[in-house]
Amino acid sequence: MLNKYARAFFTRVLTPFAAFLLRRGVSPDAVTLIGTAGVVAGALWFFPRGEFFWGTITITLFVFSDLVDGNMARQAGISSRWGAFLDSTLDRVADAAIFGGLALWYAGNGNDNALCAVAIFCLASGQVVSYTKARGESIGLPVAVNGLIERAERLVISLVAAGLSGLQTFGVPSWIGVLLPIALWIVAVGSLVTLIQRVVTVRRESAEADAAAAAAEGGAA
Protein backbone atom coordinates (compact mmCIF):
# COMPACT_ATOMS: atom_id res chain seq x y z
CA MET A 1 0.00 0.00 0.00
CA LEU A 2 2.79 2.41 0.89
CA ASN A 3 4.50 1.48 -2.34
CA LYS A 4 1.39 2.53 -4.29
CA TYR A 5 0.47 5.83 -2.63
CA ALA A 6 3.77 7.08 -1.20
CA ARG A 7 5.61 6.43 -4.46
CA ALA A 8 3.04 8.47 -6.41
CA PHE A 9 3.31 11.37 -3.95
CA PHE A 10 7.10 11.50 -3.82
CA THR A 11 7.36 11.06 -7.57
CA ARG A 12 5.42 14.31 -8.02
CA VAL A 13 7.50 16.07 -5.38
CA LEU A 14 10.82 14.94 -6.85
CA THR A 15 9.96 15.58 -10.51
CA PRO A 16 11.57 19.09 -10.57
CA PHE A 17 14.76 17.71 -9.01
CA ALA A 18 14.85 14.90 -11.56
CA ALA A 19 14.47 17.46 -14.36
CA PHE A 20 17.29 19.53 -12.85
CA LEU A 21 19.66 16.54 -12.87
CA LEU A 22 18.79 15.76 -16.48
CA ARG A 23 19.60 19.34 -17.49
CA ARG A 24 23.00 18.93 -15.82
CA GLY A 25 23.70 15.82 -17.88
CA VAL A 26 23.36 13.29 -15.04
CA SER A 27 22.15 9.87 -16.18
CA PRO A 28 19.50 7.77 -14.36
CA ASP A 29 22.00 4.91 -13.98
CA ALA A 30 24.46 7.24 -12.24
CA VAL A 31 21.76 8.26 -9.76
CA THR A 32 20.96 4.59 -9.12
CA LEU A 33 24.60 3.75 -8.44
CA ILE A 34 25.27 6.80 -6.26
CA GLY A 35 22.08 6.25 -4.28
CA THR A 36 22.90 2.61 -3.58
CA ALA A 37 26.48 3.47 -2.61
CA GLY A 38 25.18 6.09 -0.18
CA VAL A 39 22.71 3.71 1.43
CA VAL A 40 25.32 0.96 1.78
CA ALA A 41 27.90 3.34 3.22
CA GLY A 42 25.42 4.88 5.67
CA ALA A 43 24.07 1.53 6.83
CA LEU A 44 27.42 -0.23 7.24
CA TRP A 45 29.20 2.74 8.82
CA PHE A 46 26.62 4.04 11.29
CA PHE A 47 24.40 1.09 12.22
CA PRO A 48 27.13 -1.31 13.45
CA ARG A 49 28.37 1.54 15.69
CA GLY A 50 24.91 2.06 17.17
CA GLU A 51 24.56 5.52 15.59
CA PHE A 52 21.02 4.90 14.43
CA PHE A 53 19.87 8.49 14.07
CA TRP A 54 22.64 9.63 11.73
CA GLY A 55 22.55 6.32 9.91
CA THR A 56 18.84 6.74 9.24
CA ILE A 57 19.28 10.34 8.07
CA THR A 58 22.04 9.30 5.65
CA ILE A 59 20.11 6.31 4.31
CA THR A 60 16.91 8.31 3.88
CA LEU A 61 18.69 10.99 1.86
CA PHE A 62 20.05 8.42 -0.56
CA VAL A 63 17.11 6.02 -0.66
CA PHE A 64 15.04 8.60 -2.56
CA SER A 65 17.31 7.95 -5.54
CA ASP A 66 15.09 4.92 -6.12
CA LEU A 67 12.32 7.36 -7.10
CA VAL A 68 14.50 9.93 -8.83
CA ASP A 69 16.20 7.59 -11.31
CA GLY A 70 12.94 6.18 -12.65
CA ASN A 71 11.47 9.66 -12.86
CA MET A 72 14.50 10.83 -14.85
CA ALA A 73 14.25 7.88 -17.23
CA ARG A 74 10.58 8.60 -17.92
CA GLN A 75 11.16 12.31 -18.46
CA ALA A 76 14.03 11.62 -20.85
CA GLY A 77 12.14 8.83 -22.61
CA ILE A 78 14.97 6.39 -22.04
CA SER A 79 13.30 3.75 -19.85
CA SER A 80 14.93 0.41 -20.58
CA ARG A 81 15.07 -3.19 -19.46
CA TRP A 82 18.66 -2.61 -18.34
CA GLY A 83 17.65 0.31 -16.16
CA ALA A 84 14.86 -1.70 -14.56
CA PHE A 85 17.23 -4.62 -13.97
CA LEU A 86 19.95 -2.42 -12.46
CA ASP A 87 17.48 -0.63 -10.20
CA SER A 88 15.91 -3.85 -8.92
CA THR A 89 19.27 -5.54 -8.37
CA LEU A 90 20.76 -2.63 -6.44
CA ASP A 91 17.59 -2.35 -4.33
CA ARG A 92 18.43 -5.81 -3.01
CA VAL A 93 21.98 -4.69 -2.25
CA ALA A 94 20.73 -1.65 -0.33
CA ASP A 95 18.22 -3.70 1.67
CA ALA A 96 20.90 -6.24 2.57
CA ALA A 97 23.19 -3.45 3.81
CA ILE A 98 20.48 -1.96 6.04
CA PHE A 99 19.51 -5.17 7.79
CA GLY A 100 23.10 -6.40 7.69
CA GLY A 101 24.19 -3.25 9.52
CA LEU A 102 21.55 -3.83 12.19
CA ALA A 103 22.60 -7.47 12.52
CA LEU A 104 26.22 -6.40 12.99
CA TRP A 105 25.18 -4.07 15.81
CA TYR A 106 23.31 -6.79 17.67
CA ALA A 107 26.12 -9.28 17.05
CA GLY A 108 28.62 -6.80 18.51
CA ASN A 109 28.02 -4.00 20.99
CA GLY A 110 24.26 -4.52 20.88
CA ASN A 111 24.94 -7.90 22.46
CA ASP A 112 21.66 -9.59 21.53
CA ASN A 113 21.94 -12.78 19.50
CA ALA A 114 18.17 -13.16 19.21
CA LEU A 115 17.75 -9.75 17.59
CA CYS A 116 20.79 -10.41 15.42
CA ALA A 117 18.97 -13.51 14.14
CA VAL A 118 15.77 -11.51 13.60
CA ALA A 119 17.67 -8.88 11.60
CA ILE A 120 19.26 -11.61 9.47
CA PHE A 121 15.81 -13.14 8.93
CA CYS A 122 14.51 -9.73 7.80
CA LEU A 123 17.41 -9.52 5.37
CA ALA A 124 16.87 -13.02 3.95
CA SER A 125 13.07 -12.94 3.85
CA GLY A 126 13.09 -9.60 2.05
CA GLN A 127 15.29 -11.08 -0.67
CA VAL A 128 13.12 -14.18 -0.99
CA VAL A 129 9.89 -12.15 -1.10
CA SER A 130 11.29 -10.20 -4.06
CA TYR A 131 12.55 -13.40 -5.69
CA THR A 132 9.19 -15.16 -5.53
CA LYS A 133 7.52 -12.38 -7.51
CA ALA A 134 10.35 -12.14 -10.04
CA ARG A 135 10.48 -15.93 -10.49
CA GLY A 136 6.72 -16.22 -10.80
CA GLU A 137 6.64 -13.51 -13.45
CA SER A 138 9.55 -15.14 -15.29
CA ILE A 139 7.44 -18.28 -15.85
CA GLY A 140 4.56 -16.24 -17.19
CA LEU A 141 2.40 -15.76 -14.10
CA PRO A 142 0.99 -12.38 -13.03
CA VAL A 143 1.64 -12.97 -9.28
CA ALA A 144 -1.36 -10.73 -8.61
CA VAL A 145 -0.83 -10.09 -4.92
CA ASN A 146 0.94 -7.29 -3.07
CA GLY A 147 1.32 -8.91 0.32
CA LEU A 148 1.22 -7.57 3.84
CA ILE A 149 4.71 -6.01 3.96
CA GLU A 150 6.60 -5.13 0.80
CA ARG A 151 9.86 -3.23 0.37
CA ALA A 152 8.40 0.19 1.09
CA GLU A 153 6.83 -0.99 4.34
CA ARG A 154 10.00 -2.82 5.38
CA LEU A 155 12.09 0.30 4.90
CA VAL A 156 9.68 2.75 6.50
CA ILE A 157 9.04 0.62 9.58
CA SER A 158 12.71 -0.21 10.11
CA LEU A 159 14.17 3.22 9.39
CA VAL A 160 11.59 5.18 11.39
CA ALA A 161 12.15 2.92 14.39
CA ALA A 162 15.94 3.08 14.00
CA GLY A 163 15.88 6.86 13.71
CA LEU A 164 13.70 7.27 16.78
CA SER A 165 15.84 4.81 18.75
CA GLY A 166 18.86 6.91 17.84
CA LEU A 167 17.37 9.91 19.60
CA GLN A 168 18.77 8.50 22.84
CA THR A 169 21.99 10.22 21.77
CA PHE A 170 20.23 13.55 22.24
CA GLY A 171 18.96 12.81 25.72
CA VAL A 172 15.62 11.18 24.91
CA PRO A 173 14.73 8.55 27.57
CA SER A 174 16.24 5.12 26.89
CA TRP A 175 12.85 3.42 26.65
CA ILE A 176 12.58 4.70 23.08
CA GLY A 177 15.24 2.15 22.15
CA VAL A 178 12.62 -0.61 22.38
CA LEU A 179 11.06 0.65 19.15
CA LEU A 180 13.76 -0.89 16.96
CA PRO A 181 13.42 -4.46 18.30
CA ILE A 182 9.64 -4.19 17.98
CA ALA A 183 10.00 -2.95 14.41
CA LEU A 184 12.33 -5.80 13.49
CA TRP A 185 9.89 -8.37 14.82
CA ILE A 186 7.03 -6.71 12.91
CA VAL A 187 9.05 -6.74 9.70
CA ALA A 188 10.11 -10.36 10.25
CA VAL A 189 6.57 -11.62 10.86
CA GLY A 190 5.12 -9.43 8.10
CA SER A 191 7.73 -10.63 5.61
CA LEU A 192 6.94 -14.25 6.46
CA VAL A 193 3.23 -13.62 5.92
CA THR A 194 3.97 -11.87 2.62
CA LEU A 195 6.15 -14.76 1.49
CA ILE A 196 3.36 -17.23 2.25
CA GLN A 197 0.85 -15.04 0.41
CA ARG A 198 3.02 -14.96 -2.68
CA VAL A 199 3.79 -18.68 -2.65
CA VAL A 200 0.07 -19.49 -2.30
CA THR A 201 -0.73 -17.07 -5.13
CA VAL A 202 1.88 -18.58 -7.43
CA ARG A 203 0.62 -22.09 -6.64
CA ARG A 204 -2.96 -21.07 -7.47
CA GLU A 205 -2.03 -19.19 -10.63
CA SER A 206 0.22 -22.01 -11.88
CA ALA A 207 -2.56 -24.56 -11.33
CA GLU A 208 -4.99 -22.34 -13.24
CA ALA A 209 -2.48 -21.84 -16.07
CA ASP A 210 -1.76 -25.58 -16.30
CA ALA A 211 -5.49 -26.36 -16.34
CA ALA A 212 -6.08 -23.78 -19.07
CA ALA A 213 -3.20 -25.19 -21.14
CA ALA A 214 -4.52 -28.74 -20.73
CA ALA A 215 -8.00 -27.64 -21.76
CA ALA A 216 -6.61 -25.89 -24.82
CA GLU A 217 -4.66 -28.99 -25.82
CA GLY A 218 -7.74 -31.13 -25.33
CA GLY A 219 -9.83 -28.80 -27.47
CA ALA A 220 -7.20 -28.81 -30.21
CA ALA A 221 -7.13 -32.61 -30.23
Binding site feature residues: 29-32, 66, 69-70, 74, 80, 87, 91
Name the binding residues for a CDP-1,2-diacyl-sn-glycerol.
Answer: 29-32, 70, 74, 80
User: Radius of gyration of the chain from Cα atoms?
Assistant: 20
Question: Which candidate in 91, 95, 112, 210 is catalytic?
Answer: 91
Name the binding residues for Mg(2+).
Answer: 66, 69, 87, 91
Please give the Cα distance from 70 to 156 (Å, whole number): 20
Please give the Cα distance from 17 to 19 (Å, whole number): 5
Length of the chain: 221
Residue 91 is among the residues annotated as catalytic for this protein: yes
Please give the Cα distance from 101 to 122 (Å, whole number): 12
DSSP-assigned states of every residue in 3-46? HHHHHHHHHHHHHHHHHHHHHTT--HHHHHHHHHHHHHHHHHHH
Catalytic residue set = 91
